[in-house]
Chain A
C-alpha cells in the first residue's frame, strides 16, 4: 500500500506519542532489547573469563617454555587435561594466553576509544553548536586526518617505537580514533540544535554549554553509547592488526601477537590450528558482542529501526 500513514494518522494520542521516535524513550529500557542483552552476555563471558580465570587456572603457563611444546587441545589425540587448549611451539599454554591476552585487547580498545570519543564529543559539539570559523577549523582538521591511511602511519610509528607498552599503543591509536566521532557528533548536534526543546532553551536564555550538557547530551546518550561500542571494536581490530604484523608489545602475551607468532612458526601448514584458532575465536566473540550491543543501543536510540512493531 502507499504509505506508512496507518501508524501516523489519527492514533490514540497517548499511544502514538508514547512511542514517538525521540532519542531516549524513558520507557524503553536497554535490557528489554534482545540484541543488547545478547551482546552484553558475550562480553560478560569474556570479562568473567579474564577476571576469574587467573583464580582457577595457573596463568604462569602463559610464559615461554612453561609447558610442553606443541600439545594439541585436550579432546584430541595427544592432548592433556593440564593444557585444555593445547600449547604452542614456544611452550606457552593456550588457555593461559587467552585468559591473559583477552583483557589486554579489551583494555587497548577501551582506552583508545574512550580518548577518541571524548575528544570527538568535545570538538564535535563545539563545531556543531558554534558554527562559523570554529566549525570550519575543526571540520577541516578532522576531514584531513580521516583521509590519512591510519594503518600505514601506525605501522611506521610502531616500527620506530621499539618495545612499547600497551598504553602507548592505545594513545597512538587514539590519534586516529577521534576524527570519525567528531564528524558524527557534529552532525548530531547540528540536527538537535533545531529541535523544539533546544530552541525553547535558547529562548529561555540558557547558555550554550548548559544547553549542550543538559538538553542535548541526555538525548544523545544511547547513540553515543552505540558509537562507543563501534569505536572500541575498531580500536581492537587496529591493535590486533598491528600486533599480527609483529608490531605489538613483545613482553606480554596479547591475542594479536600470538597470531603473529603462529604465522611466523608456520602453524597453518603444521596443522596447529589451536595456536591461531583460539585467539581469533576470542576476538570474534568480542567483536560480535560489541556489535550486538551497538546495534541494540542503536535500536533504542532510533526506534524506527525496530520495525513495524513500533509507533
Chain B
C-alpha cells in the first residue's frame, strides 16, 4: 500500500462552545479481504458526534459509509475486518470490548435502524411482542404491566396510534413499520442512534412523515443520530452537521448551512451541484471521471481522477483533514496555506 496517511488533525476547541461528545471515532480502519488483495473500505476516519445533534454521513455507493456504521457498532462481518481505530461512546471504546460486554452496550448506548428495517419485522409476531422482545433482549425479563406501559409510550413517541399495539406487521403500511423500528431503537433511550438510510425504501410522502418522526424524537429525547444516506435534499432537511465521504475517506465535515452554501471540497461541490432542482429547470451539470481500483488507491488524494482542480501536489501527498473555519473541516490541498488563524 503506497498511500501515505498522515494522522488526522481535528482542530481543538476552536469553537467557543464546549459541547458534550457522545460518539468519538478515531482513525477507524476497515479492510475487506478479497482473493486479489485487501480492499480499503474505510481508510482511517475520525469524527465526533455531539449530544442532541443529527449528523449526516453522505457519500455515494461504495464510499464506505455503511461499512463505517457497521464498524462503529462492531458488527463488521467477514470478509471485512476492523484493522484499527477507536470508537468511544461516552468514553468507552466499543472496539475493545468482548462480545458479552458489547451486547450489554448495544441498544442501551447505541442503537441501529438498518436499511429496509421494516422488512425485518417478524411477520408472525404482533408489534407489541416485537418491541417487548427488543427491550427484554437487552434488559432481561421485565414485569408485564411495566413493559406494556413502556411500549405504549414508545408508540406514542413515534406517532403511532395505540391500536398499533396489537397489530401484525402486514397490517401496517411501510411508513408505520419503519416507525415501529424507530420505536425499537429508542426503547432503551440510547444516547446515540445510527440510522442507515431509514427512508430509502419509502415513498416520498411517507418519507417525510418518517423523517419528521426522527426529528421529533430527537427533540423530545435529546438523542443524537448519525443519519446515513445519499439523498442530499433529505440531509438538508434533517441534519445539523454533514460528513462527506469518498472512497473510504472523509473529505469534508461542515455545519449543514456551510455544506450547502459554501462547500469547500470539490467532491462536495459536485454532490451539491448534482441535486436536481424542483424549482427551476436548469441545464444538467455533467461530470466525467473514472473511479480508481479500490484495491490500489493512488498515492495522494483519492479524488484526483475526478477533481476538476487537481494539482501536482494532489498526486503525491495525501491531504489531511484540517479545520478551515469553526467546525468546518476539509481534506484538500486547495486550502493549504489558507488556514484561518
Contacts and interface: CB of A to CB of B under 8 A. Distances in A.
B78 A308 contact: yes
Contacts of A308: 77-78
Contacts of B34: 15, 18
A8 interface: yes
Interface residues of B, number: 33
Given A15-B32, A308-B77, A308-B78, A8 B115 contact: yes
A5 B39 contact: no
B41 A12 contact: yes
A204 interface: no
A14 B294 contact: yes
B127 to A, nearest CB: 15
B112 interface: yes
B76 A5 contact: no
Contacts of B119: 3
Given A11-B62, A12-B41, A15-B294, A5 B116 contact: yes
Nearest to B68: A10
B66 A9 contact: yes
A305 to B, nearest CB: 16
Given A2-B114, A12-B41, A14-B294, A7 B228 contact: no
Contacts of B143: none
B337 interface: no
Interface in B239-293: none
A6 B78 CA distance: 10
A11 B197 CA distance: 13
A1 B134 CA distance: 10
Contacts of A13: 61-62
A293 B152 CA distance: 54
Given A1-B112, A5-B196, A6-B77, A12 B64 contact: yes
Contacts of B147: none
A2 B117 contact: yes
A147 interface: no
Nearest to B32: A15
Interface in B56-70: 61-67, 69-70
- Most chain B CB within 10 A, of A13, A18, A27, is at A13
Interface in B91-135: 106, 112, 114-117, 119-120
16 contacts: A1-B112, A2-B181, A3-B120, A5-B66, A5-B196, A6-B77, A9-B196, A10-B61, A10-B62, A10-B196, A10-B228, A12-B64, A13-B61, A15-B34, A15-B294, A309-B79
Interface of B: 32, 34-35, 39, 41, 61-67, 69-70, 73, 75-79, 106, 112, 114-117, 119-120, 181, 196-197, 228, 294
Interface of A: 1-3, 5-15, 18, 27, 308-309
